[in-house]
Amino acid sequence: MKLTQAQMDQFERDGYLFFPGHFSPPEIKVLVDEVPALYAQRRPENVREKTGDVVRTNFAAHMYSAPFARLARHPRMVEPVRQLFGEPVYMHQFKINGKQAFDGDLWQWHQDYGTWKNDDQMPGPRAMNVAIFLDEVNEFNGPLMFIPGSHKLGVLEAAHDTSTTSYPLWTINNETIRKLVDRGGIVAPKGPAGSMILFHGCLVHASSSNLSPWNRVSVYLSLCAVSNHIRRFKRPGYIAHRDFTPIECLPDDCLHMDYDVPLPWKDGTPAEELQGNLKAA
């Protein structure tokens, strides 16, 4: 799949591109059917909401689930990112955010590159966020909100919030957000399951809690240009990956066909991937 020049220009201007219905309902069903078994597992990759047992984020499913390992190599997702960076990419982070009906908690205003820089020593913002909707996203179930154009401001000052939500995040203060929204407004791409968003690592984003009766499960992948790989292994390997091997795509029908994929963490996460240490290999 190739982006047009108009799409490349739009990405440059707004910091994101939205592709409604990019994957078909049968393709998405293959992924949706796998999620309950992943969320039921007792493994460190499942981070729960602070209120109880509901899973907020599952990390690194592509290392132990065949459907998600195939998604991680899908050309409709990987090729536009490679095109925008002009070089091969590796998987920096892979998560399935639950945002479950009634229980899904908010994500505060932040830029992902703030965390990649501060925690992982990623040299530049040459890593792309990709969101793929496994459920419909509507105005009620906590859609992702963007401030268009905010990626052009580079890394903004942020504070390390380790208490408000169940997962530490570098968050941006309300006064800064007010100024940014005065300039750029807020958008919240909404659409059917199977929709895809590409968004810049410096684009300021957030989402509110899900008080609706509809789950909002979405996959979030971060694909990093290989030359821009992280330099510090402070966070566990299942959160910030340490394997910088370029992604090789499978054929376009890979969500329908049983192509062979490696599942190295199927029987558990290797001990060295569970801990952070400060030294990169």
Can you give the binding site for ligand SIN, defined by CB under 6 A? 97, 99, 107, 144, 205, 207, 218, 220
CB of 106 to ligand SIN, least distance (A): 8
- For residue 25, the surrounding DSSP H or E stretch is helix 25-32
Q: Are 47 and 167 in contact (CB under 8 A)?
A: yes
DSSP character for 146?
E
With CB under 5 to 8 Å by kind, the binding choice for 144 among ligand SIN, Mn ion, none is: ligand SIN
State the minimum distance, in angstroms, from the CB of residue 12 to ligand SIN: 21
Least distance in Å: CB of 2 to ligand SIN? Answer: 27
With beta carbons less than 8 A apart as the criterion, state whether 92 and 224 touch. Answer: yes
Question: Is 72 or 144 the residue whose CB approaches ligand SIN more closely?
Answer: 144
Span from 97-105, 112-120, 150-158, 177-185 in contact with Mn ion (CB under 5 A)? 112-120
Q: Are 19 and 191 in contact (CB under 8 A)?
A: no
Integer distance in angstroms from the first to the last C-alpha of the chain?
34
CA 187 and chain centroid, separation: 18
Nearer to ligand SIN by Cβ, of 150 and 218: the residue is 218
Half-sphere exposure of residue 69: CA atoms within 13 angstroms, side-chain side = 14
Determine, following the binding rule CB under 5 A, whether residue 27 of this chain makes contact with Mn ion.
no
Q: Which does 117 bind (CB under 5 to 8 A by kind): ligand SIN, Mn ion, none?
A: none
Listed ranges 52-60, 95-103, 109-117, 175-183: which one lies at the site for Mn ion (CB under 5 A)? 109-117
- The yes or no reply on residue 112 touching Mn ion (CB under 5 A) is yes
Beta strand extents in 53-211 (DSSP E only): 55-59, 89-97, 107-110, 127-133, 144-146, 159-161, 169-171, 196-200, 205-207
Which residue number, 46 or 254, has a Cβ lying nearer to ligand SIN? 46
Query: Which helix (H) or strand (E) is 268 found in, with range?
Result: none
Task: State the binding partner of 46 from ligand SIN, Mn ion, none, CB within 5 to 8 A by kind.
Answer: none
14 binds Mn ion (CB under 5 A): no
Give residues in contact with Mn ion (CB under 5 A): 112
